[in-house]
Amino acid sequence: MKTLSKIIKFFSYTSFILLMGIIIFIFLYTVYRSIGIINFEFIFDSPRGMVLGEEGGIFPAIIGSIWFSFTALILAFVPALCSAIYLVFYLKNNRVKTFINNVFENVAAIPSIIFGLFSYAVFVYMLGFGRCILSAGVALALMIFPFLERKIEKSFLEVDKNLLIASYNLGIDIRRTFIKIVLPLCFKEIISSVILSLLFAMGATAPILFTGGVAFATVPNSLLKPAMALPLHLYLMIAQGASQINRAYGVAAVSLMILFIFSTLAYCLSHKTYKKV
Amino acid sequence: MTNEILTISNFNVNYGSKKILDNINLSFKKNTINCIIGSSGCGKTTLLKSINNSIVFESELHVDGNICYDGKNISDIDDSTLRKEIAMLMQMPVVFPFSLYKNLEYVLDYYLKIDKTRKNDMIVDILKKVQLYEEVKDDLNISAEKLSGGQKQRLCLARALLTEPKIILLDEPCSALDVYNTMCIENLLLSLKHESTIIIVTHNIQEAKRINDRIIFMKDGKVVEDNENFFENMSTEEARAFINVN
């Protein structure tokens, strides 16, 4: 028993160190390769050059990525929150609950390019929206919806059931109990789920490939226009050959910085709000 | 005008093929303290939960029979209204994760639209009523989770009393409390019986002796004895055996 415990402990520590090592290596290597690339012009200028991106910057791609991910988040968040509330607090039939949960789990396993294909068929082609941020946002929203819903549902399920029963035993209805007790307790978790989903959408390339992401566009000013996106720009730069590779690392480093900024913002926001409760 | 506030008739609760409550027939008079005793697992808590319909939170239980509150079947009463009229305190006091003041404000804000001054007065009054005010008056904003077990139980009682319940259900409220806090709760219940009907599940026979107007003894999901002079005149062998062991 003692030997088994030692083996488990050894593998836990080794896995942790290995994983952290890989993550730190990727981060530092990306930053190292982007030294000399990231400057004011790189961040705030548009891409230029004979081979697109060999000069100028990535500003339209940064703004495009933010548009894509926020559109997806807005489209996915409300249905995800409402589904989670319904499944946890209102739906009493366990069979239906299990069925819906299975559907969500299966949707989560669908390759993201299929959402892109769906959105292309329905929004770009059938409804005539064309390749635009909205069409891509729908594809991304479908991709992040099950992830977001499961995370929010899990946070609701983690609330001590006795608190809910104590509130119901006072004659207080589900709506009030949810707003005053469940939501404050889950707020931190919901915010972190939202940010994770946002970053998940920001990093996806396949769903925007045929629906709204383009190789070049100006900074978008409408949901009905196509836009550049950081992961797509990164993919196109690498596809264009070795001469672009250092600038591609610059794009990757900027993506990591955006990720870091959003995570920090989420932490500060949820921490500050949670303290007030 | 009938003096009965609650009637339970032909009431059964099953978990699969297992009978948790077996053909319960009881009625409860207004302004009385009714103690339910019996060994663990005999269905006392299930009976309490059935009365304010919080049994619906337990999955896979099959319920049939009638419970009438104030002449109306509880299935015809909206759950929120029912639970406002029939308050329930659990064995382990559950306080909400905010301050003592806000625990009480939570209930007041739901039922009443009153100004801050009136709200403060009501909170002070209810804390005095449950004999908690003197202990906490200097810091009503203390987190309710930091209170002692006895204080938490009295806070839960105060919170429940704000809904002005006609019936108070208590599931072993003193099981985790010291003598001082047990006496506090018992005195409170004796004073509250002038306003409400009290139905209390207890394992403490001495406590039941001190406060009861009537004892209901249960065994294996059945009411074996229902007696207003239980300790003087037990009519069943099972009840005598239970009291001798306890």
Split at pLDDT 50, 70, 90, the class of A176 is very high
β-strands A47-48, A55-56: how paired?
antiparallel
Q: Higher confidence at residue B64 or residue B60? A: B64
Residues in CB range of B238: below 8 A, 6 or more apart: B217, B219, B224, B225
**pTM exceeds cut of 0.90:** no
Split at pLDDT 50, 70, 90, the class of A62 is very high
d(CA B97, CA B95) in angstroms, rounded, equals 6
Q: Which of A124, A145, A114 is nearest to A214 (CA)?
A: A124
Average pLDDT over all residues of chain B: 91
The answer as to whether A4 is a domain residue is no
The answer as to whether A21 is a domain residue is no
The answer as to whether A187 is a domain residue is yes
Q: CB contact, 8 Å: A242 with chain B? A: no
CATH number at residue A247: 1.10.3720.10
> What is the structure's pLDDT at A181?
94
List residues of chain B with CB under 8 Å from any CB of chain A: 52, 54, 57, 59, 79-85, 87-88, 90, 92, 94, 96-98, 106-107, 110-111, 156, 159-160, 163
Cα-atom radius of gyration of chain A, to the nearest Å? Answer: 22
d(CA B200, CA B168) in angstroms, rounded, equals 8
pLDDT at residue B14 above 60?
A: yes
> What is the structure's pLDDT at A242?
62
Neighboring chain B residues of A186 at a CB cutoff of 8 Å: none
d(CA B213, CA B83) in angstroms, rounded, equals 24
Quickly list DSSP for B67-128.
Answer: EEETTEEGGGS-HHHHHHHEEEE-SS----SSBHHHHHHHHHHHH----HHHHHHHHHHHHH
User: HSE on the CB side for A260, CA within 13 Å?
Assistant: 7
Do B175 and B93 form a contact (C-beta atoms < 8 A)?
no
Backbone angles phi, psi at A112, to 5 degrees: -65, -25
Distance from CA of B156 to the nearest CA of A (A): 9
Tens digits of residue pLDDT in A117-170: 999 999 999 999 999 999 999 999 999 999 999 999 999 999 999 999 999 999
Q: Higher confidence at residue A270 or residue A145? A: A145
Q: In 3-state terms, what secondary structure has residue A221?
A: coil
> What is the structure's pLDDT at A276?
47
- Total domains present in chain A: 1
pLDDT at residue A87 above 90?
A: yes
The answer as to whether A6 is a domain residue is no
Q: ipTM of this model?
A: 0.90
pLDDT at residue B2 above 70?
A: no
Q: CB contact, 8 Å: A174 with chain B? A: no
Q: CB contact, 8 Å: A275 with chain B? A: no
Q: Chains A and B: how many Cβ contacts under 8 Å? A: 61
The answer as to whether A139 is a domain residue is yes
Tens digits of residue pLDDT in B205-231: 999 999 999 999 999 999 999 989 888
Neighboring chain A residues of B85 at a CB cutoff of 8 Å: 171
Report CA torsion sign: B33, B37, B40, B46.
Answer: negative
- CB-CB under 8 Å, B54 with A170: no
Q: Which of B245, B244, B242 is nearest to B38 (CA)?
A: B242
Q: Which of B68, B11, B17 is nearest to B218 (CA)?
A: B11
- CB-CB under 8 Å, B83 with A169: yes
d(CA B186, CA B166) in angstroms, rounded, equals 18
> What is the structure's pLDDT at A93?
86
Q: CB contact, 8 Å: A177 with chain B? A: no
The answer as to whether A3 is a domain residue is no
- CB-CB under 8 Å, B163 with A170: yes
The answer as to whether A14 is a domain residue is no
Window from A49-53, A199-203, B10-14, B17-21 with minimum mean pLDDT: A49-53
> What is the structure's pLDDT at A226?
94
> What is the structure's pLDDT at B57?
84
| CA distances to A21, A32, A257, B210, B231 from A27, in Å | 10, 9, 10, 71, 77
- CB-CB under 8 Å, A171 with B83: yes
Residues of chain B with pLDDT > 90, as a percent, come to 63
Split at pLDDT 50, 70, 90, the class of A275 is low
- CB-CB under 8 Å, B80 with A171: yes
Exposure of A274 by Cβ count < 10 A (0-12 exposed, 13-18 middle, 19+ buried)?
middle
pLDDT at residue A224 above 90?
A: yes
Judged by CB atoms within 8 Å, which residues 72-101 of A form the interface with B? 94
> What is the structure's pLDDT at B120?
93
d(CA B171, CA B185) in angstroms, rounded, equals 13
Strand-by-strand arrangement of the B214-219 sheet: B86-89, B167-171, B197-201, B33-37, B214-219, B222-227
The answer as to whether A23 is a domain residue is no
Average pLDDT over all residues of chain A: 90
Range of the domain at A215: 34-276
Q: CB contact, 8 Å: A3 with chain B? A: no
Report CA torsion sign: A205, A211, A212, A214.
Answer: positive
Distance from CA of B84 to the nearest CA of A (A): 4
The mean per-residue pLDDT over the stretch B112-133 comes to 92
> What is the structure's pLDDT at A277?
45
Tens digits of residue pLDDT in B138-171: 889 999 999 998 899 899 999 999 999 999 999 9
